[in-house]
Amino acid sequence: MEDDMNTSLPSRLLKEVVLSKPKVISVVKGIGSFVTLSVAAEETDLFSNKPEQIWVYLCDWLIHYEGEVILTSNNIDDDLCIKALNRIKGSSIVCFSEHDKKITIKFNDGIIWTLIPNREIYEEDDDIFILYFQDKSTLSYSLEKGFYFEAQ
């Protein structure tokens, strides 16, 4: 029974995060494929512990818009990176999903961000995605653990 509770908690949290309508207020490109999104979310009756930041790292990624790839984690053109990542600013996250060990983040304006584990560079237990909440708890994803929650 405990395993059911542990696997359902991340799933419930992801749904609650989406219900809080997290809006991207800033996007910061770090070194390599690292990107930090700061988000502002509405408080809901079900969810008062609002998400604050999303870290995308230790993975490869693709950003799609209108069916076209507009940016990859391997792109080194700073101007293109800034332009494509700024397109996310002001968007709201409408869905998080996992399929075939890839994470997809969908935004209300049609942008789709796919996070792809890179087993040649990173370890199975490396997090490719971390969602930080107001109370400093986290919801993360790694190949080894899948989605998992850590309270602080």
What letter represents residue 144's amino acid? E
One-character DSSP codes across the chain: -HHHHHHHHHHHHHHHHHHT-PEEEEEEE-STT-EEEEEE----SS--S-EEEEEE-SSEEEEEETTEEEEETT---HHHHHHHHHHHTT-BEEEEEEETTEEEEEETTS-EEEEE--TTTS-TT-EEEEEEETTS-EEEEETTTEEEEE--
CB 60 within 8 A of CB 73: yes
User: How much is the pTM?
Assistant: 0.85
pLDDT tens digits for 15-74?
Answer: 778 777 889 999 998 888 899 999 988 766 555 667 889 999 899 999 999 999 999 999
pLDDT tens digits for 103-125?
Answer: 999 999 999 999 999 989 999 99
Residue 5: the pLDDT is 40
